[in-house]
Chains A and B, each alone.
Chain A
């Protein structure tokens, strides 16, 4: 730390104190008689930096205010160990109230202080200067007092060489260890408490698994039982339905009579056949023999009917074909079914539809009628012509001179004979033609009548065909004997013979009452017995399903109880797990804290080793430093000295040829030796802290020095260290003041002191290689 400027107002002796542009490298003399204010300069520096003076503690600050004033201030600007310039401003009133601020020099105060408050500023000074008030007082600041040798491991020495910081850190670590041990004790208590709770729960690790296995097994069994029960219920229901359907179909079937129509037979047969198959399947599924006599009997009987109906179905097919043929002839169908040779009518009846044949017949009748009319016309014409010719011939023969004769002679320009012959032959010819046309007329009349008969025949056939179609159409709905009787009468020999054959053979069971009743009785008996078996099977299924349902419900009740136990066990598990997690967390925390203790104990050991190392290095260094400096100050009278661990000093006196203690030295020599130690301690503090340039303020250090010793001491101070560059020396008188870089003249009667240096370095600070090579 190098001082750059000091300004004070109403502090101690001075109403106004201003020291500006202090040289950073050089010696500054503070000269003046007693009570001139030399010590006040040093005390003001001390007050500016630390808020207290050597003489007055922080509780006596009201006494630093100049007598009669209400308050004062100190401003000290300095260069810190980091190279930055800082300014401390302190304002003190006459009640001792104290305000302190630290600014960064050169910045506007509007920016605000870097730190504010006495404690904060003191800590900032320690950081920027590398020393506390105590270490400052014992090293860089020599007050006007009796110099004493500090104890080897005193607080001063510890502060000077930095051991105090290490011990403070060790103390903090030790306090943390103590606190951590207490915390671990608390954690151990909590851990034991958690373990005790876990033990009280008395959890069986396998119990939950057992309960879950039992539950799963019961659930599985219950589900299987319920499924089997549902299956059996379904089967019972199915068997019941099958039995009901079968007996219903059988009852319907056995109600059949010879008057039953084909459709009814077909439907009933289908129902009973389906029911029979279902009953057979149900019987097989129910463990009943599918080939039981009841089903066999019923099946055989039903098969008889099936065979009969199959044969009847063939008749239906023939009837269907014949109906298609009839529909074609009636022009009701669209498909031409050529008539089979067997179906051809006697006389080679046309194969055309009735409508076409009727139209052709009608056309023929019309044509014949036209021709007949023509024959009538021509016959009448030739008859009239024949009558005229016969009358004219007769007139010519009988009365040629009559009017008619005359007219004929006039018309016929022939001779008389010619006229008579003409009329005769004409009459004969006309009469002949009349006869021909009359014969033709009669023949056409016969043809017309034949055509009309043909037409009537076609209409009759058409009506018969419609009747037959009606018979065929109604054969499925009609009673089977009626349908067969009707089919037997159709004009189709194949169909008729098939009907006759059916009635006498396969259709017997369908149309003969005795045969029908016998077969139906078989079916009735067989179906009743089969249905009874199925009903019994249904009851067995139902009973078994009920048993299984009951069993499943019992299992579900057991599962519910197991679920409650599992929930309770799970809750106990959760409690144990939560406790175990807590215990594990506490153990981890305790382990962590134990590790922290180990680390801190090790840190304390390392700190202790570092302190021992510092002490072991400090004492030889101090002895070496003093041994080098002492001959310079004493004119080589004292060269060697001994320093024990408590810093007790003995010097080698050449005159006595032995080491002597401090008590045996003169006051001047004693102060020289103490000045050496003080300078050594200052250098030690610099070495252990900032290593930066530092100022000294020594107040009356040469009080018992003669002029020669004083001159030698001043010279020694000039060359003492590359770091101690700014040295304030206070004395009543300096023999050679011009040798100083700045001189402050203090006057007893003047309460103002203002001085200004050039602020420059008066010596270049050399590079100090040892700084980076020490150790």
Chain B
């Protein structure tokens, strides 16, 4: 199979467009994380975000998050009309800094968890959830 110059350009252009898409998503994810941390860098160690890969119903998507040693965990969904989902503030009586809940997602998007650790540093995790039916009404 040989490519003409024209075909090569077309294929290359399409590949570029595909490559640019995730980069755009990543940028908004980074912006959201920076919004919580106040611009401080967030590492990815020590936080675990459990979300389904595919959620058929965007009205109830089960999410679990765990970050040992965290004082607060913020959940964000960048593709929703309002990105904030919930903030868990852990008190001294909590055994393990983990929580699970059910959230609404308007469409396929990244779910982000940002944890503030006791020493003031931040850790963050993100996972893409594919949503078949959005959960924000019309």
A binds B: no
